[in-house]
Structure 1
Amino acid sequence: MTNETVTHTILKANGELLEWLDDTVVREIPLTVHYNREEIATLLCSPSQIEELTLGFLFNEGFIQVPEDVYEIRQDPANFMIWVEGRPCVLQKELMSKRYVSACCGKSRASFCFANDALMVKPITSNYRISLQEAYSYAKFLQSYLPLFAKTGGIHSGGIGYQGKVLMTSYDIGRHNVFDKLSGEAFRKRLNLENHVVFFSGRVASEILLKVAKMKAPILIARGAPTDMALAQATALNITVLGFAREQRVNIYTCSERIICNSNEF
């Protein structure tokens, strides 16, 4: 298994006291993705769930739609390269140019400025509902999940839940990668997410909302705050967004009818 952390010697200051010590730092790698022998993108990511990340990225960008579209996956872990052979895709030449994708926000990430997003994203029709207590349970899970965050403070985390159970999780230095990894695992397992909940440790910007829309998940629960553009898109796409989620606190921003409370009178 690839090491996910490294040790770095630092000078730690505590008031006027200075001390040299070894600190644990999360690793970041540049993963170059090829599809049908064409270099598609370089993803800056954590060295975990590499195949899930690749499949999720290709799915969310419109290269693949069903598992049968993927013929073969090969990796070169030493040089951070991965090759996917699959069904030829018209988007590959017409709508997708090679991009250098950073772990942070930026114009290189997917948004409606790319034509394939407008083609792929449709309003959610799911009538799935969850209790407020179930929402709190996912928030509590996010608070206790991942010893790697406790050690480094350098990663985002997320998961997919159903009827109060956590079905899968992911983590990465890049928040977009968290969603691609979840998408990739769901893709592999042929899991339809129309009646599932996605939960996430970070804030909800518009590109994150689009990731959830592409997953076709009706409910997103996040520990962080949403942006106005994300909420406008959530309203248009009929996605329930909950933010500032803590163990017994949450803000319900859009499509509140999917949240069952003791009192349904608002």
Structure 2
Amino acid sequence: MPNETVTLSILKADGALIEGREDTVVREVPLTIHYNRDEIATLLCSPSQTVELTLGFLFNEGFIRVPEDVYEIRQDSSDHMVWVEGKPCVLQKELMSKRFVSACCGKSRASFCFANDALMVKPLVSTYSIPLQEAYNYAKFLQSYLPLFQETGGVHSGGVGNKGDILLTSYDIGRHNVFDKLSGEAFRTKLSLENHVIFFSGRVSSEILLKVAKMNVPILIARGAPTDMALSQATALNITIVGFAREQRLNIYTCPERIIF
């Protein structure tokens, strides 16, 4: 396991009292991803689950679609480099950074997204639903499963659940990386996420919502608040967003029929 934290000497102020302390700080590293010898991106991330993060990033950006698309993965942990050899990709790398305003999924709602997203994201067709208590249980798990956050206060966490069981978990300094790690682990283990729930410690932006759509997950439960654009996109993409999920409290913003009272 990589070293996730460092211990530093700091000054701590409590009112007028100033004293020297040691503090645990979460690590941040640059992970550079290469695909078929092309440098694709450098992600700032926590130094764990880097293979999962790489696979999830490549999947969510459209470079790979099935495990057979990946021929070989090599990584250099000391230099934080990953090389992936795989099926030639028809998507242009330049589209990853080209943003534009368009109608979301052909609807009248405006969305601001990457060009690749418009090629990959489609409304979900799903009748999957869960009991309200199951949603509460995922929120409770989020509150208790934060060991690195409790130690450092510096990471987001998330997971994948099904019928009350916790199947996958991840954490990272970056919100987006949490979803890429979950996506990469599901990709690596050939786990279809169509009838599953993602739960997440942070807020829900439109970019987070698009990650969920690419993973074909119908229900997202978050401790934080959603943005209006995320809710607009969720309505168009037929995704249930639950926010402010804390113990026995939550808000259901979109597609409420998937939460059974």
TM-score when normalising by structure 2: 0.93
1:139 aligned partner: 139
Rounded to whole Å, the distance in 2 between the matches of 1:255 and 1:96 is: 29
1:245 aligned partner: 245
Matched residue type, 1:62:
G
Rounded to whole Å, the distance in 1 between the matches of 2:223 and 2:76 is: 35
2:126 aligned partner: 126
- 1:70-219 superposed matches below 5 A: 70-93=70-93, 95-96=95-96, 112-219=112-219
Rounded to whole Å, the distance in 2 between the matches of 1:178 and 1:96 is: 19
1:193 aligned counterpart, secondary structure: coil
Rounded to whole Å, the distance in 1 between the matches of 2:68 and 2:93 is: 21
Structure 1 residue 176: Cα displacement? 0.1
2:103 aligned partner: none
Matched residue type, 1:22:
E
1:50 aligned partner: 50
Matched-pair contact (CA < 8 Å) for 2:40–2:93:
no
Structure 1 residue 37: Cα displacement? 0.2
Structure 1 residue 97: Cα displacement? 5.8
Rounded to whole Å, the distance in 2 between the matches of 1:97 and 1:141 is: 35
Rounded to whole Å, the distance in 1 between the matches of 2:54 and 2:86 is: 13
Structure 1 residue 93: Cα displacement? 4.4
Matched-pair contact (CA < 8 Å) for 2:57–2:180:
yes
Matched residue type, 1:211:
K
2:23 aligned with 1:23:
yes
Structure 1 residue 119: Cα displacement? 1.0
Structure 1 residue 250: Cα displacement? 0.3
Unmatched tracts of structure 1, length 5 or more: 99-110, 262-266
Structure 1 residue 8: Cα displacement? 1.1
Matched-pair contact (CA < 8 Å) for 1:157–1:178:
yes
Rounded to whole Å, the distance in 2 between the matches of 1:136 and 1:247 is: 6
Matched-pair contact (CA < 8 Å) for 2:113–2:207:
no
Aligned residues: 249
2:113 aligned counterpart, secondary structure: coil
Rounded to whole Å, the distance in 2 between the matches of 1:94 and 1:250 is: 39
Structure 1 residue 90: Cα displacement? 1.2
2:176 aligned counterpart, secondary structure: helix
Identity of aligned residues (%): 80
